[in-house]
């Protein structure tokens, strides 16, 4: 029930203010740690990742509240708000403003993206970050309480900071990236399963597309989430994208036409329904546990 309360707090009031958000404070701490321990070796990156995970565990233990830690670790409301804003800009034809807003949602270079490319980026980010910012923190909060939620958010934040395939971080960020892969493995598949349950008329296609297309994606988890979203919408995601000066040709995910701006509200609704379903499932599990405890205490 505490994890469901944390998710509900995010839905009702959003994230804590930026000035006091614990994730921002954690990021500043880990920037200092990186400066102290950085070397172009995986072993140094492992020290960095371990220190961050321990910091997350200590924070969770000190806080002692699963609902508060889950609230701080979840960001579904903000994710959907930014996605809706970019979609609204596209629908009004303000491509320049949509490009300027996109980096708040997705890390790719938006300068050459047309409206369809931006729509695809928004939908892919909604899928991937519905795992990272909703399902995974809720899963780990439910499994391991306040420390689980805080350790997960620490791992995911470290991955966003150093888990890049660039000259500085390809070795140093390896441990953080692998930890993030492991932490999101089950949640990504929960996300895909929930999509199939919530879209029974497309469930067979969702399963088929995930099995067929996700293995080619460079991420073992983002590929699952994006393929499931593509199948649920009946659109084709993936393809060429650019991060700074690096160009990457992502595998095609799903069948059908490329997305257009009108598909973004549908994707936002799907992400919202996924979070609602997660809350309801967590409440149901909590009630079942309580009923079982009461029965076991009866003479």
Q: What is the pLDDT of residues 193-225, one digit of tens each?
A: 999 999 999 999 999 999 999 999 999 999 999
Mean pLDDT confidence for 164-187: 95
User: Mean pLDDT score of the chain, rounded to an integer?
Assistant: 94
Q: Which of 103, 117, 107 is nearest to 240 (CA)?
A: 117
Mean pLDDT confidence for 180-195: 98
Helices (H), the chain: 2-13, 22-37, 42-63, 66-73, 76-91, 95-101, 115-130, 136-162, 174-198, 203-213, 222-233, 263-297
Tokens of 79: 């994710």
**What confidence category does residue 124 fall into, taking pLDDT thresholds of 50, 70 and 90?**
very high
Position with higher pLDDT, 291 vs 171: 171
Residue 254: predicted pLDDT: 96
Residue 58: predicted pLDDT: 97
Tokens of 91: 């629908």
Summarised one tens digit per residue, pLDDT across range 44-87 is 999 999 999 999 999 999 999 999 999 999 999 999 999 999 99
Give the rounded percent of residues in the chain with a pLDDT score beyond 90. 84
Residue 168: predicted pLDDT: 93
Per-residue burial over 36-64, b if 16 or more Cβ lie within 10 Å, else e, is: ebbeeebebbbbbbebbbebbbebbeebe
Residue 291: predicted pLDDT: 85
Residue 244: predicted pLDDT: 65
What are φ and ψ of residue 225, in 5° steps? -65, -45
H or E stretch including 14? none
Q: 242 forms bridges with which residues in the sheet?
A: 247
pLDDT at 182 over 80: yes
Residue 73: predicted pLDDT: 96
């Amino acid at each position: 029930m505490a994890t469901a309360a944390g998710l509900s707090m995010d839905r009702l009031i959003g994230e804590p203010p930026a000035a006091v958000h614990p994730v921002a404070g954690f990021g500043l701490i880990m920037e200092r740690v990186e400066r102290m321990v950085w070397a172009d070796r995986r072993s140094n990156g492992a020290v960095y990742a371990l220190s961050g995970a321990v910091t997350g565990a200590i924070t969770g233990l000190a806080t002692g509240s699963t609902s508060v830690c889950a609230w701080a670790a979840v960001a579904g409301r903000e994710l959907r708000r930014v996605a809706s804003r970019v979609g609204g800009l596209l629908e009004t034809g303000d491509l320049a403003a949509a490009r300027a807003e996109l980096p708040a949602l997705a890390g790719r270079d938006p300068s050459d993206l047309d409206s369809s490319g931006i729509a695809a980026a928004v939908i892919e980010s909604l899928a991937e970050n519905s795992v990272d910012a909703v399902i995974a923190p809720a899963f780990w909060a439910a499994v391991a309480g306040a420390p689980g939620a805080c350790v997960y958010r620490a791992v995911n934040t470290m991955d966003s900071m150093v888990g890049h395939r660039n000259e500085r971080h390809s070795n140093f960020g390896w441990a953080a990236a692998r930890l993030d892969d492991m932490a999101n493995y089950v949640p990504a598949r929960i996300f895909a399963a929930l999509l199939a349950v919530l879209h029974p008329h497309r469930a067979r296609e969702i399963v088929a597309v995930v099995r067929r297309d996700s293995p080619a994606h460079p991420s073992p988890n983002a590929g699952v989430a994006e393929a499931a979203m593509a199948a649920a919408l009946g659109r084709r995601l993936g393809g060429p994208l650019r991060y700074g000066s690096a160009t990457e040709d992502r595998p095609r995910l799903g069948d059908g036409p490329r997305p257009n701006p009108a598909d973004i509200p549908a994707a936002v609704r799907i992400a919202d329904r996924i979070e609602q379903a997660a809350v309801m499932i967590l409440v149901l599990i909590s009630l079942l546990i309580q009923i079982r405890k009461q029965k076991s205490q009866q003479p």
